[in-house]
Structure 1
Amino acid sequence: MDSTLASVYHGNCHCGRYRFELSAPQPLETIACTCSLCEKKGYLWLDLSASSIKVVRDDGSLTEYQSSALKDEFCNHCGTGVLGEHTLGPLLGRLLVNLRAVQGLNPFHLEKSAKVVKLEDKRTTDLPPPTPSDSLAHHVGSCHCGKVQAELLVPIKDQVVKEDNCSLCTRNACIGVYPNKDQVRIHGREHTFEYKYGKKFSGTTHCKTCGVTVFSNVYGPPLSVLEAAPPERKERVMAAYWRNMMLQPLNVRALDGVGRDTLHIERSDEGTEGYVLDP
C-alpha cells in the first residue's frame, strides 16, 4: 500500500470495547456480499489486502461465529460486527473489516458505491413451520443460526419501515418495522443479549450465538418525566407514550424472503451527532 495515498480512520464497536486504526487507500472500495449472514447483518466490507489495521484496544469482547460462507467476529456486549473472513466464493481467505464500524463514514453513501459480490450459501438451520396458532403469519424470520425467531402477523407492506444512520443503527444496519406486540410472535428471547445506549429508552437485542438482531425492546422514558409535562400537552404526550409502549420493533433484514427493494423505506440521514465514545 502506498502510504502517501492512504487515509487513516478510527473505528470501534459501539460500546468501545474493541477499537482500531485503519489505514486505507482512497477511494475506499466498499464490498457488499450477498451471502446469508452478510445480508442479515448488512455488512459493508473493506478488503484489508491493500490496507492495514492496528488494534488499539481489545477487551476480549469479540465472539466468533462461523457460517458456511463467513467467519464473523462481533462484540458480545453491543453486537457490532467488526471483522470477517469468507471461507468460500470470490472473497475466499480475505480478511475484511466492516466499514460500518469506522467513524465518520456514512453507510448511505457507502452503499451507493459498493461493489456487490454474489454469493449464495446454504443456511445451516431452517425455520420450523409456524404452529397452528401462528398460521396467519405473513412473514417469518430468524437470526442466522435460527435460535431467535419472529413471526409478523400483518403484511409488511402495510407497516411503516424506517432506517437511520445514528451511531447505533449505522453499526447494526437495522431497518425497523414497528408493529404492535399483538401482531408479532417471538421465540427464543432467552438466546439473546440486550444492549442499551444513551437514555436507555430502548434496547437492541442480538443472538448470543450469531449476533444477528431480530427484534428490539421499547421501554420509553419514566412515567414521572411524562407526568411533568405542561397540562396543555400532557394528554397528547401520554397518548403517544402508550402507543409507543405497545410496539414490538423487528429488524427487516431478519425477515426471510422480504425484498427490501420492494419496500418504501423512510430514511433519516441525521448522522451520529451526540455519540461520544467513553475513554
Structure 2
Amino acid sequence: MISSEIKQFEKYYTMLTEYLVTYSMQIVAAIFILLIGLWIAQKLANVVANLMTRHNIDITLTNFVSNVVKVLLIVMVIIIALGKIGISVTPFVAAIGAASLGAGLALQGMLSNYGAGLAIIATRPFVVGDTIEIKNVSGQVKTIELGHTTLINEEKVEITIPNKHIVGEILHNSFKYSLVKGEIGIAYNACSNTAINLIERALSTHQHVAEVPNSQIGIERFGDSGVIISYRYWVPTTKIIETKLAVNSAVYAAINNAHIEIPFPQRVVTLQKSECDNA
C-alpha cells in the first residue's frame, strides 16, 4: 500500500519535473507577461479615469468605464499568459460564454437596472441635488448608482428607485427647489395691497425661501367671508415642512400686528314664522 503511494508520488513528481524543465522559460515569460499586464491595466485605467474627470464626466460613469477597461485588459493578459505555458484557452472561453449567458438570463432585472443607470448617467436628465417626481414619488436626488437612484423627501425619508423604473417614464424636475403654496383671507374692507406687501416682506426675510425663482403673491379668489390672498414660493426640498410652518406663522403675525381683520366663515340664519304658528 505504502509502496504504491510512493510510486504514484514519484510519477507525479517526475511529470512535474519534466514539465518545469520543458516549459521553464515559458513559465517565467508568462509570469513576466502577467505582472507587466497587471501594471499596464492599472495605469491605463487611471489614465481613463483622469481623462474623464478632467472633462467633468459623472463620477459613477467614470469609475464604471475605468473598471471595465481594467478588467478587459487583465482578462486578455491572463489568456496570453496561459497560452504561453501551453494551456489551451478555448474551453475556458466556451465556459465563460455559457456562464455569461446563464448569468444574463438569471440577472436580467439587475442588468436592465444597470443599463438604465448608464442611460441616466450619460443623458443626465437630473443630477444629484435636483428635485424630481417619478410615478407619484418625489424627492431630492441624493445618489445616482448604476442599479438604483436614491431620493430623500421633506420628511427626511430615503426612497430607493430601481433605475429601470425611471428611464422611459414621465419625469418632473424642479432642480434643487420645491414649490410651496399658502393662502390667507382678509376682510373685504381691508387693504389688499398692504396685506400683499406684508406677506412679501415675511417671505423675503426667511433664510430658506429662494430668491430665484421669485415668490408670487396676489389675490387668489373672492370668498364668501373675505378676500383670499395666495402666496407661492420655492424652498429646498428637504426644508419644505419647517419652512412652510415658519412662513405661515410669520404671515399670520404680520397680518395680525397690522390690525388687518382675518375673517372667519359666517352663516346668517333667518327664522320665519308660519301662519300656523300665528294662529
When normalised by structure 2's length, the TM-score is 0.23
Q: Which structure features the higher share of strand residues?
A: 1
Q: Determine which structure has greater relative contact order: mean sequence separation of CA pairs < 8 Å that are 6+ residues apart, divided by chain length.
A: 1
Q: Which structure features the higher share of helix residues?
A: 2
When normalised by structure 1's length, the TM-score is 0.23
Bigger radius of gyration: 2
